[in-house]
Structure 1
Amino acid sequence: MASMTPWQQRLSTGTEDIQDEVIRWYQQSRHGKGYVPDMIWGTLQTEAYATVILRRVVDFLDVPNDVPAGVAKRMERQQVLYDGEHHYDVILGEQALYTNVGGPEVMGGQMERILRDFDLPSLTLGVLATTAELSVVPMPGFNMHGGDRVHYELVSSGVDITDPDELALHDKAFTALSNAASYGDTAIDLINKALAFWNNK
């Protein structure tokens, strides 16, 4: 079963309320998984990076502009990385390290943030290299909250999937992506390569 809600409806009061909703998802799910092929996972975003993202959302969807409040909530969400009660398996596409969000200074700071938190006990972070061979077809990013919800963010809508058979397929897909991703020192090398790129821009 899937439910779809247009972003303009979900963001009709601005970005703060939906960030509150996401905080509850993360707090309630002790174990989550995320595949984010072309941007930085929200719970690892710096304040500067998140500000650019939410400002673009507000401008694109023409919804109320409460970006500072939305960013503050997104930063609050990151407490799950430090409370000792949660764990997240996250795969970033290598492209996510190079998608230009806010320019070299913002991107450089974002790479430094990822490197600083790379070894958190609450985080298993992989990078899917652009040349990695996959055993599944390429797919859009998704987040798995516990074992009962998968969330997609589309251009016009947010989609939530709760059917057990569909959840099992997403878990299978995540395993395939994880098997192709780089971890540990190899992932750190890819992030450092991106940091050097942005520092030289």
Structure 2
Amino acid sequence: MTFDPQQLGESRADLAQTLKTMRKRAGWTQTRLAQRCNMSQTKVSNIESGKLTPALVDVELILRALDAPTSLVNEVMVLARMANTEWKDAWSSRRRGLDKRQNELAGFEESSTEFRYFLPTMITGLLATPEYVRASIADVPGDQSKTVAKKLERQAVLHDGSKQFTFVLTEQAVRWPLVPPAALAMQMDRLSSLTRLSNVRIGVIPIGPSVMPGPLNVFTVYDDRIATVETSTGVMVFRDHRDVSAYRDEFSTYERHALFSEQARERLNEWSAVFTRQRE
């Protein structure tokens, strides 16, 4: 399925209006529809007003209850899929200020308890040293001090014992020379130390045996509700359970190939020693 960013922005309102129109044409009240779908009348009202984006299973229940024709079901399900997908382009994020993006990520972290991060290219800000954070946004023009401060501030969430984090990094991500050798060695030492937090699992996938599927994008899964996928031009946000489940399954595949705990620390220490020697 091809997503048009403009259509993604309009699809929620279109879906809400379409479902409302279908119910009225059927001569049903919100209460009757809610009873047939085993939902509350408030939920139906919020869906039709656009206050709540329904999951695909909710839309399927509504269409089945209204006995919608197949051609219309297909059309509405496309709308529903698009309504559960959001596109955040990189240029808009930069215009608004990257510190605003940090606030959005902090919101995801506040409302979630279980996190899965797959990092095939670079180290994420939650795990980064200050020097690494600064280097990661060095190509963005203007004063980035607020963004750096917010990125470092967000790291406090790692010490919230009510939340569970799993990070899987490829060897390429860990060893990518974003900073000078000495700084990169310190970054690896930080990763090693963070593996000792009881609620944080950091796994590394060394270059070696074949890992399938081949890694394509950075992605994060928040609980079983949201998956975000990063590209060079922006971020896709998926809320449909089938999309989220697909990324959870992909994460599990990479997780099985990763080294954790003492094995991860041993490998990180080996890599750190290589870069430490480079500065001598």
Shorter-chain TM-score above 0.5: yes
Take 1:139 and 1:104, find their aligned partners in 2: how far apart are those partners?
26
Count of residues in Structure 1 that have an aligned counterpart in Structure 2: 195
Pair member with larger Rg: 2
List per-residue Cα deviations over 1:16-61 (Å, max 9, x = no partner): 11111111111211111000012112210111100110222x14xx
Give percent identity, aligned residues only.
Answer: 22
| Aligned position for 1:40 | 123
| Aligned position for 1:62 | none
**Unpaired segments of 5 or more residues in structure 1?**
60-64
1:186 aligns with 2:263: yes
| Aligned position for 1:85 | 162
Measure how far apart 1:180 and its partner are.
1.1
Contact 2:192/2:268 (<8 A) preserved: yes
List per-residue Cα deviations over 1:79-129 (Å, max 9, x = no partner): 111122211111011111210112112211111111121110120111111
Take 1:96 and 1:136, find their aligned partners in 2: how far apart are those partners?
17
Take 1:136 and 1:102, find their aligned partners in 2: how far apart are those partners?
29
| TM superposition score normalised by structure 1 | 0.91
SS of 2:138's partner is helix
Query: RMSD in angstroms over aligned alpha carbons?
Result: 1.4
Moved segments of 4+, more than 2 Å: 132-139
Contact 1:36/1:91 (<8 A) preserved: yes
Contact 1:16/1:66 (<8 A) preserved: no
| TM superposition score normalised by structure 2 | 0.66
**Unpaired segments of 5 or more residues in structure 2?**
1-83
| Aligned position for 1:94 | 171
Inter-CA distance 145–66: structure 2 relative to 1 (3 Å threshold): farther
Q: Which has the higher helix share?
A: 2
Q: Which has the higher strand share?
A: 1
| Aligned position for 1:54 | 137
1:98 is aligned with what amino acid? R
SS of 1:150's partner is strand
| Aligned position for 1:29 | 112
Take 2:94 and 2:173, find their aligned partners in 1: how far apart are those partners?
25
Contact 2:165/2:200 (<8 A) preserved: yes
| Aligned position for 1:9 | 92
Superposed counterparts of 1:125-144, under 5 Å = 125-144=202-221
1:22 is aligned with what amino acid? L
2:149 is aligned with what amino acid? A
| Aligned position for 2:241 | 164
Measure how far apart 1:132 and its partner are.
3.4
